[in-house]
Chain A
């Protein structure tokens, strides 16, 4: 039973003019029910190691993506780890011309591969505007 005073990962109800995405609108107790996971790796499974390293890598990758695509990220970055491969999935807005986005993608992929010593793949999808789930 949740107390009404919990403030973790919740957007407070306001006047009705604040656009909120599906990810932001759902508080964390909906995670396996209405929400999915943002970062998928085997570190947190029972009897598996390496959860702390993955967490550090995840936070670095999110800040890196937030910095290389300034103002373009519509929703949170989804990270997937398949064996050695790191797949970074992001939703971008169509504010930059495609040539610049291609350069940023190549730059991010090569830099991250050299930094983490593993193949890094960036999978992007462009959206005309931020997908609003509801207004709070």
Chain B
């Protein structure tokens, strides 16, 4: 019975190619990104370290070149409040909130690669961690800037100077 099922399934491939409904192929040229910069912020350094390892591993598996992994210094936001409800101005409490950062820079991506990588990495973002993404696009130089303006002016001025 199992053999019959396998044969019945296999002849479908020879008649028509299997098209994955999730993959779409379009003819328009893809936008290229020179640099994709991910800034990840969190309160816990250990969580950020493990997330950085995960993101770098994911980039390597997808074949994306990692430019550099930067660790900007932490920002500490401190404030001093009164300890008591009513009086006692001399006795205060101090709180602080520490934010650690990790900056990942990836270079030379296409829009579809960037979409896939960002979706994967953002779905697995741990709780308590925020991410900011900055993309640098590459565009062709517009036609009207390519040649300097003084080359395109007509040659009428030379005749006027001579006369």
Contact surface of B with A, Cβ cutoff 8 Å: 41-44, 75, 77, 93, 97-99, 125-130
Contact, CB under 8 Å: A32 / B98 = yes
**What 1/0 mask marks residues of chain A from 41 to 60 whose CB sits below 8 Å from any chain B CB?**
11011111000000000000
Residue among A40, A46, A47, A48 with max Cβ neighbours from chain B (10 Å): A46
Contact, CB under 8 Å: A37 / B41 = no
Of B93, B125, B127, B130, the contact of A45 (CB 8 Å cutoff): B130
Contact surface of A with B, Cβ cutoff 8 Å: 8, 32, 36-37, 40-42, 44-48, 80-83, 87
Q: Considering only CB atoms, which chain B residue lies closest to A28 in the complex?
A: B95
18 contacts between A and B (CB under 8 A): A8-B93, A32-B44, A32-B98, A36-B44, A37-B43, A37-B128, A41-B127, A42-B129, A42-B130, A45-B43, A45-B99, A45-B130, A46-B41, A46-B75, A46-B97, A46-B99, A48-B130, A81-B128
Q: Considering only CB atoms, which chain B residue lies closest to A44 in the complex?
A: B97
Complex Cα–Cα for A36 and B97 (A): 14
Q: Considering only CB atoms, which chain B residue lies closest to A85 in the complex?
A: B127
Residues in B whose Cβ lies below 8 Å from that of A80: 127-128
Complex Cα–Cα for A94 and B145 (A): 76
Residues in B whose Cβ lies below 8 Å from that of A81: 127-128
Residues in B whose Cβ lies below 8 Å from that of A8: 93
Q: Considering only CB atoms, which chain B residue lies closest to A83 in the complex?
A: B125
Complex Cα–Cα for A22 and B8 (A): 61
Residue among A32, A42, A47, A48 with max Cβ neighbours from chain B (10 Å): A42
Residues in B whose Cβ lies below 8 Å from that of A32: 43-44, 98
Residues in B whose Cβ lies below 8 Å from that of A42: 41, 128-130
Contact status of A45 and B41, CB under 8 A, knowing A37-B128, A40-B128, A87-B127: yes
Complex Cα–Cα for A32 and B43 (A): 9
Residues in B whose Cβ lies below 8 Å from that of A37: 43-44, 128
Complex Cα–Cα for A118 and B129 (A): 19
Complex Cα–Cα for A44 and B98 (A): 9
Complex Cα–Cα for A128 and B129 (A): 33
Residues in B whose Cβ lies below 8 Å from that of A87: 127
